[in-house]
Chains A and B, each alone.
Chain A
Amino acid sequence: MQLVLEKRTERSNTIALVSPLIAIGLTIVTMTILFAILGKNPFLALQAYFIAPLTDSYSLQEIAVKATPLVMIAIGLSLCYLANAWNIGAEGQFLIGAVAGSWIAVKTQGTDAGAWVLPAMLVLAAVAGALYALIPAICKVKFGASEILTSLMLVYVADLFLDYLVRGPWRDPHGFNFPTTAEFDPVATVPLLIEGGRLHLGSIIALLVVAAAAILLGRTIKGFEIRVVGAAPRAARFGGFNANQLIILTFAVSGALAGLAGIIEVAGPVGHLQPGISPGYGFTAIIVAFLGRLNPLGILIAGLFLALTFIGGEQAQIAMKIPLDVTKVFQGILLFYVLACDSLILYRFKLVVPNRQVTRGAG
């Protein structure tokens, strides 16, 4: 007996829907074993991770707040990945967006600047994120440089640039030497949806982004172009679509969305610019994009799920002293299983009895 992968004649839509669930199931099994090895009660640990955060309003709002940047970034990344453009540097574009938007907040600090401040911050952050993403895109198109490497390396440039600003020119003079800007003025802050709550306007923007992406990919010729360039490059060229133009476009859009997510995070939940504004949103969003099958609605669900792992990880750390890094392990294992399960969409498992025996039996 032998287990082989056999190619399906047509992609299985059922599996396309079920495969992320299988991946989550396998991840949970693996984590159970891992918790047991760490000497923690797996049942309680899983409860802290996945059940506890769903039981109170504060945690539920916090999940939505964490999901907001994840979903926005992942939507942009999914456009890149569908078009076969591998933007790994969303984390950097997120940080640059945060920096660019914060520039307006810092410069208008204490002045009586009006309601234009926040919209201007959002626009500038998106533009900056897009321009930052265009660096690897243009290097790819003009010189053939691997966008995977260049976009990733630019993450560290952005990270250190932010670090320099908050330790140097933008440091809050009354901040006891902490590397942070002063708290943003109210006009430079993303408004809350519920007074005294955590949920803010950014979550609404994220939902609009999801809807726009769904329309773009499902209904427009541009969306078709993105999908066909990724799925069959030669056929796309035959169709008259220019792959290089799409690399530029999708990088710019995903950079803009990451930059927007960056300023929303800083001007919303955080309230000021400081190092460590992102617990790796730009990287976790890669997992969100694939777990969501590069589909806008799927990304929304996957974003909420991964946000849950962030909150659950914190709860597990508090309640059971499980290290926070276990959350990253969890996310890594999840991506691994997601990619593995994806092969089931085009292939299926089959048990094969070696032919020799059959031949002998018949002969």
Chain B
Amino acid sequence: MQAHQRMLDPTPNGLHSGESPLLKTVGLTKRYGDFLANDSIDIDVWPKEIHALLGENGAGKSTLVKAIYGLIQPSAGEIRWQGEPIVLSGPSEARSRGIGMVFQHFSLFDNLTVAENVALGLDGKESFKDMSARLEQVSRTYGLPLDPGREVWQLSVGERQRIEIVRALMQNPRFLILDEPTAVLTPQEADQLFVVLERLKTEGRAILYISHKLEEVKRLCDTATILRGGKKIQTCNPRQETAASLARMMVGGEIREVKAAAGRQTTIPRLVVNDLSLAPDEAHGVRLEHISFELKGGEILGIAGVAGNGQDELFAALSGERPSKDPGTIVIEGIAAGHLSITKRRKLGAAFVPEERLGHGTAPRMKLSENALLTGHAASGMVNHGFIDTAATLKTVDKATETFDVRKAKRDPEAASLSGGNLQKFIVGREILRNPAVLVVSQPTWGVDAGAAAVIRQALLDLAAAGAAVLVTSQDLDELTEIADRIAVMFHGRLSAPLAASEATREKLGLLMGGSSLEPKEAAHAVGA
């Protein structure tokens, strides 16, 4: 209770409070029913430290930071702030003590301006004008340029993240939590962010940095705490570890290495897109403009790009969820298919895996066998004269389970009861078992544990080796360089010319993701649209 009355020193300079860490958790535990999301976790975060929180999805990282930010109450254990135990009533109390957080998913209103969004997020007693002035000042000080008067929908993802960071900084936090901030950034934008974080560190603040990108953590962080299955595995200095040793701690074993078959042959073009343009079907959607590419059998084409640059629209156009008027824009197996429905495209030998597993790729509250039928009814012999062959649908479930190591509680559970990784293995398996000629897959390993990700990537490589054409859209550049033969980049609804994987450096891809052109003549000022 005394902690409530303590006045906070608003300047970040007086932070060196001697021997005690700025924030410490002791035996922090969070229990959901029988499930221990956090099992007695101890961490110490010191001033002037960038502390990484490493772990796979479901390791308990988010639960831990939510407890620290006051969003959830721990079931047991305590949080000590500057040596004193505290109980946070909610995020506003956390903020008033000097704990700030930048979420992975932004909470911004598209139709409001930058300044209005910031004002909504502050516990504000100052006037809008003073606040705007302070916003400009903070954004200038930290090299995070923002125009307070622009509406959010006009901004790129990187700029939106800047709003969130500036909003957090305007409360002058001593302790800042960042949840996977680089997931939505181009490599160049990430570099700029690191400069800002280094600067915050030299000002004496502490940063808790959630990530699963090991190279990034090794480069930026002074300390790393690794979580696995809700438990703390170790706290170490990431610079003294290798990426492989960090990965072992995260996963709890060796990760299967993904290998491409040697001497893969490319065959005939199986998926051709000719000058595809498509108007968006919703406000603030992305217009696809003059997209063309050719994908041969035996080949994996990767599409990189920051989320929201037209990848979803391209998927809908390729799958036939949004057919186009002009048949010739999309050619599957030599047949003009631009106007065809998704079922007819499946009958031509195409298969699709969307980004959203629950609600798009599967009906969450339906059984796996019914979800096998969802895409299998078109061309997999699961339907006879309008009647469902239940045995055939169950056989698909069993086969996918066996081939792709899908772990589940019973033979035919509801889709929603599977973990993300296992459901994704099932979905990819369901499509691959149909022996598709063309597979279009979006974010195949998004939010999937490393083991499942390796299984899925290997399956895509094997499918290509068997002669199928595979199109992979991903925001994970490491994934694309690992499996793709060629990589193209989407920006503002346009697709760059593909680069051979051997030439596609992070640098080049990053430039394309930011909207620059690779031709030296234009490179100087081709940013933006």
Contact = CB atoms under 8 A, between A and B. Distances in A.
A359 B370 contact: no
B135 to A, nearest CB: 36
Interface stretch (A70-78, A203-211, A215-223): A215-223
B319 interface: yes
Given A10-B414, A235-B361, A228 B374 contact: yes
B383 A221 contact: yes
Nearest to A362: B76
A224 interface: yes
B74 interface: yes
A228 B343 CA distance: 15
A356 B370 contact: no
Contacts of B190: none
Which of A219, A220, A228, A239 has the most B CB atoms < 10 Å from its CB?
A239
Contact of B361 (A220, A238, A363): A238
Contacts of B354: 238
Interface residues of B, number: 42
A355 to B, nearest CB: 4
B236 interface: no
A220 B386 CA distance: 6
B319 A238 contact: yes
A232 B366 contact: yes
Contacts of B378: 240
A141 interface: no
A236 B87 CA distance: 46
Nearest to B344: A240
B365 interface: yes
A326 to B, nearest CB: 37
Contacts of A9: 416-417
Nearest to A218: B388
Given A10-B413, A238-B342, A232 B74 contact: no
B341 interface: yes
B428 to A, nearest CB: 15
A237 interface: yes
Which of B363, B366, B388 has the most A CB atoms < 10 Å from its CB?
B363
Interface in A186-239: 219-222, 224, 227-228, 231-232, 234-239
Which of B73, B343, B374 has the most A CB atoms < 10 Å from its CB?
B374
A237 B78 contact: no
Contact of B73 (A228, A240, A356): A356
B73 A355 contact: yes
B352 interface: yes
B377 A238 contact: no
Which of A222, A238, A239 has the most B CB atoms < 10 Å from its CB?
A238
B480 to A, nearest CB: 24
Contacts of A219: 387-388
A321 interface: no
B373 interface: yes
B284 interface: no
A235 B386 contact: no
Contacts of A358: 75-76
Interface string A236-275: 1111100000000000000000000000000000000000
A125 to B, nearest CB: 27
B33 interface: yes
Interface string B206-220: 000000000000000
B321 interface: yes
Interface string B384-405: 0011100000000000000000
B148 interface: no
Contacts of B413: 10
Contacts of B342: 237-240
Given A9-B416, A9-B417, A224 B360 contact: no
Contact of A228 (B319, B352, B370): B370
Contacts of B87: 356, 359
B388 A224 contact: yes
Contacts of B424: none
A233 to B, nearest CB: 9
Which of A9, A232, A237, A346 has the most B CB atoms < 10 Å from its CB?
A232
B12 interface: no
Given A238-B342, A355-B74, A220 B387 contact: yes
A362 B29 CA distance: 11
Given A240-B342, A356-B87, A362-B76, A235 B377 contact: no
B481 interface: no
A359 B365 contact: no
A79 to B, nearest CB: 16
Nearest to B376: A239
B18 interface: no
B386 A224 contact: no
Given A10-B413, A228-B370, A359 B74 contact: yes
Which of A9, A227, A346 has the most B CB atoms < 10 Å from its CB?
A9
B85 interface: yes
A236 B365 CA distance: 13
Given A9-B417, A10-B414, A221-B387, A234 B341 contact: no
B386 A362 contact: no
Contact of A234 (B75, B359, B387): B359
A363 B78 contact: yes
Interface in B82-127: 85, 87
Contacts of A240: 320, 341-343, 346, 377-378
B374 A363 contact: no
Interface in B321-347: 321, 341-343, 346
Contacts of B363: 228, 231-232, 235-236
Which of B356, B360, B364, B414 has the most A CB atoms < 10 Å from its CB?
B360
A363 B414 contact: no
Nearest to A222: B386
Contacts of B496: none
B204 interface: no
Given A224-B373, A228-B366, A238-B374, A362 B27 contact: yes
Contacts of B361: 235, 238
B21 interface: no
A363 B386 CA distance: 64
Interface in B66-84: 73-78
Contact of A359 (B33, B73, B374): B73
Given A235-B361, A362-B27, 13 more contacts: A10-B413, A10-B417, A221-B387, A234-B360, A235-B362, A238-B361, A239-B342, A239-B374, A240-B346, A358-B75, A359-B77, A359-B78, A362-B76
14 contacts: A220-B388, A224-B370, A227-B366, A231-B363, A232-B362, A232-B363, A235-B359, A235-B363, A238-B342, A238-B352, A238-B361, A239-B374, A239-B377, A363-B85
Interface of A: 6, 9-11, 219-222, 224, 227-228, 231-232, 234-240, 346, 354-356, 358-359, 362-363
Closest A-B pairs by Cβ, 7 of them: A240-B343, A232-B363, A355-B73, A239-B374, A235-B363, A362-B76, A240-B342
